[in-house]
C-alpha cells in the first residue's frame, strides 16, 4: 500500500470477518463531552476463533455494565459508614490518650491506649 503526500488517509479493511475477543480494563471512564462509558486501559486477554461476534456483549449491555460498576450499592455505602465511624472513634481514643499522657508526664507515668485497653507505665 503506497501513501500519497497530501492525500487524506482512507480507512482500510483490517478484518474480513468480525472477531470475538475477551477484554480486561481498569474500570470504566466517561470521556469528556461524551454520553457513553469506555473501558479504561483495555487489554486483550484472549482471541476467540470458535465463537461469532453475535454472542458478544452489545454496546447497550456494556453501558449498563458500566453504570452498575460505577454506582455504589446501598450495602456497600452502609459498610463504608460503619468503618468511618470506627475510624473516628479510634481517632477520638488516640486524642484522649495524648491528652492523658501529657497530664500524667508530670507524675512520671505514661498511659497508652489501644483499642480500649490502657497500660499504666508506672506500675
Task: Supply the pLDDT for residue 105.
Answer: 54
Say whether both 93 and 110 belong to one domain.
yes
- Cβ of 76: how many Cβ atoms within 10 Å? 10
- CA 86, 87, 92, 96 dihedral sign is positive
What pLDDT was estimated at residue 46? 94
How many domains, in total, are found in the chain?
Answer: 2
Mean of per-residue pLDDT scores for the chain: 77
Q: Do 65 and 85 have their domain in common?
A: no
Residues 47 and 84 in one domain: no
For the ranges 18-22, 38-42, 106-110, which has the lowest average pLDDT?
106-110
Residue 11 placed within a domain: no
Boundaries of domain holding 105? 79-120
Q: Is there a domain that residue 14 lies in?
A: no
Specify whether 61 is located in the same domain as 85: no
- In this structure, the answer to whether residues 27 and 62 fall within a common structural domain is yes
Convert the pLDDT of each residue in 15-34 to its tens digit.
Answer: 788 889 999 999 899 999 99
What is the rounded CA–CA span in Å between residue 16 and residue 47?
Answer: 15
Same domain, 106 and 83: yes
Of the pLDDT bands very low, low, confident and very high (cuts 50, 70, 90), residue 76 is: confident
pLDDT > 70: percent of the chain:
72
Instruction: Enter the C-alpha cell of residue 113.
Output: 491506649
Residue 118: pLDDT over 50 = no
53 and 85 within one domain: no
Q: What is the pTM of this model?
A: 0.47
Amino acid at each position: 500500500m503506497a501513501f500519497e503526500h497530501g492525500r487524506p488517509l482512507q480507512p482500510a479493511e483490517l478484518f474480513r470477518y468480525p472477531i470475538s475477543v475477551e477484554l480486561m480494563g481498569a474500570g470504566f471512564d466517561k470521556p469528556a463531552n461524551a454520553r457513553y462509558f469506555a473501558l479504561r486501559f483495555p487489554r486483550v486477554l484472549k482471541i476467540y476463533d470458535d465463537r461469532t461476534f453475535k454472542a458478544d456483549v452489545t454496546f447497550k449491555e456494556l453501558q449498563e455494565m458500566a453504570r452498575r460498576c460505577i454506582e455504589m450499592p446501598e450495602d456497600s455505602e452502609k459498610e463504608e459508614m460503619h468503618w468511618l465511624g470506627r475510624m473516628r472513634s479510634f481517632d477520638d481514643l488516640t486524642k484522649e490518650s495524648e491528652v492523658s499522657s501529657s497530664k500524667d508526664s508530670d507524675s512520671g507515668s505514661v498511659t497508652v491506649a489501644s483499642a480500649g485497653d490502657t497500660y499504666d507505665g508506672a506500675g
